[in-house]
Structures are given as structure tokens and as C-alpha cells.
Amino acid sequence: KYTKFSISYYWINSLDQKTFIYSRVENVAIPSGGENKTAALSYDHRIMPLENTSSTGTYYCEVKWNDIQKMGKGMFVLIRDTGYINTSYSWEILVTLTVLLAVLSVTATALLLWKRK
């Protein structure tokens, strides 16, 4: 009953649209003495090439037996254009803010001392 099943790969984009990528039917022979035992089989599938940034989304694997359907948790894939540089300005902002506060502090101290005289 469980030796014949189908495996489907698909992805869901940001608009919740489901796109099937690949599907196949498996018929696994049970070796002698393997009846009534749980078996785990691994199936890999590579999606190549991911053409453009619109391929960003969550990719899923789904297995169907006669009366059972199981779906994986999904894998989110973010696709960026060639030459993309992840810009992070956190260090620049921190240094700029520190220098600005130091200049203001020195200026305020100088003004207080000057006004005191």
C-alpha cells in the first residue's frame, strides 16, 4: 500500500501563488524481511538555475500516498541580482554620532568656561 507514492516540489511566492517545479512517482520494492517496518528514504532535488529575483519564495516538498499527504516545513530562498552588495551603515552611523557628541561636549565645556571668566 505504501510502496508507491508521488513526490512533488513547488514554491509559493510573495503573492501566495503556488508554482509546481517537479514531480515524480516512486515505486519502492520492499526487501525480504522488511515488511511491517518503518523505513526512511532521502530524496534530494536541486533547482537550477534560479533565473531571477522573482524566484524568491518558500520552496516545499510534498509526498502523497493513496490516502495520506505529507508536506515539508518549507525553505525560504531569497534571490538577489548579480553584483548585489549588502550595505550596512551601522558602523558609520555609530562613529558619526560619537564624533558629533564629542564635538558638542567639547564646545559646551569651552562655552561654560569662557562664560565663567
Per-residue pLDDT of the chain (117 residues; tens, 9 = 90+): 678 889 998 888 778 888 888 888 888 887 777 677 777 777 777 766 666 667 788 889 999 988 889 988 998 888 777 666 777 778 888 899 999 999 999 999 999 988 876
DSSP calls for 7-64: EEEEEE-TT--EEEEEEEEEEPPPPTT-TT---------------SGGG-EEEEEEEE
Same domain, 101 and 66: no
Name the domain count of the chain: 2
What's residue 50's pLDDT?
63
Q: Tell me the residue range of the domain where 95 lies.
A: 86-116
pTM over the 0.85 mark: no
Same domain, 32 and 66: yes
